Every structure is written in structure tokens, then in C-alpha cells.
Amino acid sequence: MAIRSRLSILMGTKRYNIQDIYEKTGLARSTIANLYHDKTQRIDYDTLDKLCKLFECNVGDLIEYYEPSDE
């Protein structure tokens, strides 16, 4: 897939862990962990909204498109 999550990068800049995100947003720990480890297949608008508010960012800061390499 040519889209990846940047949640781990944003969490690192604020020094948040999964528990911090869970407490601040109310999102399920499994949702946060899947985004953190870039293992999610779809993201719900409500999830994006809560994360954008928490990190004061745009959707493009949370997920990004990239050109996959031909391996």
C-alpha cells in the first residue's frame, strides 16, 4: 500500500505513548496501536478528527502518500 501513518512520528515529537493518546482522545487502544505500527487498512473520520485536534495538525500530517519502490 502506498499510504502510511505518521502517528508514531507525531507521538515522538510530543513524547506521547499509546496510553496518553487513549486518555486524551478516548480512541480504542487497538486503533491507536494499529495506526502507530502502520497496520491499519482504513481510518474513520472521527478518529482523524480526534487526532488532528490533539496534535493541532491537518490530515496530511497524520497520513501520507508515497511512491512504493519496485522490490
At 28-49, the pLDDT tens digits run: 999 999 999 999 999 999 999 9
CATH number for the domain whose boundaries are 3-65 = 1.10.260.40
pLDDT class for 69, splitting at 50, 70, 90?
A: confident
Sketch the domain layout of the chain as residue ranges. Answer: 3-65
- Whole-model pTM above 0.85? yes
Q: Does residue 55 contact residue 10 with C-beta atoms inside 8 Å?
A: yes
Q: What is the pLDDT of residue 67?
A: 86
pLDDT class for 59, splitting at 50, 70, 90?
A: very high
CA distance 39 to 18: 15
Looking at the predicted structure, is the pLDDT value of residue 71 above 60?
no
What are the Cα distances from residue 60, in Å, to 19, 23, 48, 63?
23, 23, 10, 5
Looking at the predicted structure, is the pLDDT value of residue 1 above 90?
no
